[in-house]
Copies of this chain bind each other. A is one copy, B any other.
Amino acid sequence: MIYPKPVQNLIALFTKLPGIGPRQAARFSFFILKENNSFLQNLISALQEAGKKVSVCGQCFRTVERSDDAPLLCVFCKDSRREKTIIAVVEKESDMQELEKTSAYHGLYHVLGGVISPLDPESPKRLHLKTLHERVRTLLGTNPEVEVILATNSTTEGDTTALYLERILEPLKNQHQGLKISRLGRGLSLGSELEYADEVTLKNALTNRK
C-alpha cells in the first residue's frame, strides 16, 4: 500500500530515531497527521525553538540553553560543590541522568556524543575526543590527582570505545603519575542468579570479588 509522498518522507525520518522501526514510524506519522494539526504545529514549534535555543556546554557537551555568556557552561560544570578532578565519560547525555539518579557520583561528566564502531573508521571523528584529551591535560597541570571514569556501556561498542579512550589518554598517564583511568565495575547485577549469569559476567564477578 502506498502512502502519500509527504507521509512516506515522515516515516523515513522517524525510522532513523533510536529503536524505531517502519511500523512504529508509520504509527507516529498517522498520529501526528490525525490530530487536527495542533500536535503537528506544536511539534514544529518545539523543534524550531530547540534548534534556536539549545546549545551544548563548552566543557562537557551536555545540552544547555543558549545565552549571551561565553563560554557557555552547564549547571554541573559551574557547580562549585562538584569534584572537578573526576570526569565520567559517557556515550550520550541520557546516560548522565542514570548516573545522577544513583546519588553516588559527585564528579563532572564528558558526553562523547556516540560510540566508536569497529566497522566505521569515521566514527572517532564524530566524538568529543580531542576536547576530552585537552580537558584532562589542563586539569593535570593544576591538580596532583585526576580520575577519568570510562562509563561506557558493557557492550561491544562501549568496550571498543573505552579501549580507544585508554589509548588516547595513555601518553598523559605516562607523563603524570596522578592520572587514574578507571572503568565501571563488572559483575553480578541486582537480582541475578549464578545459574542464569553468562560466563564472562561470572568470571568478572569472581575476579572482582571483595
Question: When the two chains form their complex, are residues B154 and A183 in contact, meaning their CB atoms are under 8 A apart?
Answer: no
- Give the chain B neighbours of A90 by CB distance below 8 A: 194
Within 8 A of B (CB), among A16-36: 16-19, 23-24, 26-34
Question: When the two chains form their complex, are residues A98 and B46 in contact, meaning their CB atoms are under 8 A apart?
Answer: no
Within 8 A of B (CB), among A90-108: 90-102, 104-105
- Give the chain B neighbours of A65 by CB distance below 8 A: 4-6
Question: When the two chains form their complex, are residues B185 and A205 in contact, meaning their CB atoms are under 8 A apart?
Answer: yes
Question: When the two chains form their complex, are residues B33 and A41 in contact, meaning their CB atoms are under 8 A apart?
Answer: no
Question: When the two chains form their complex, are residues A34 and B155 in contact, meaning their CB atoms are under 8 A apart?
Answer: no
Per-residue B-contact encoding for A20-60, CB less than 8 Å = 1, 0 else: 00011011111111100101111110111111111000000
Bound-state CA distance A191–B58 (Å) is: 31
Bound-state CA distance A100–B54 (Å) is: 43
**A194 CB to nearest B CB, Å:** 4
A30 with B93, Cβ < 8 A, contacts A49-B9, A185-B210 known: yes
A5's nearest neighbour on chain B, judged by CB, is B65
Q: Which 7 A-B pairs have the closest CB atoms?
A: A185-B208, A185-B187, A184-B205, A4-B65, A187-B187, A154-B188, A6-B50
What is A's interface to B at a CB cutoff of 8 Å?
A: 1-7, 9-10, 13, 16-19, 23-24, 26-34, 37, 39-44, 46-54, 63-65, 75, 90-102, 104-105, 113-114, 149, 151, 153-155, 158, 182-195, 197-210
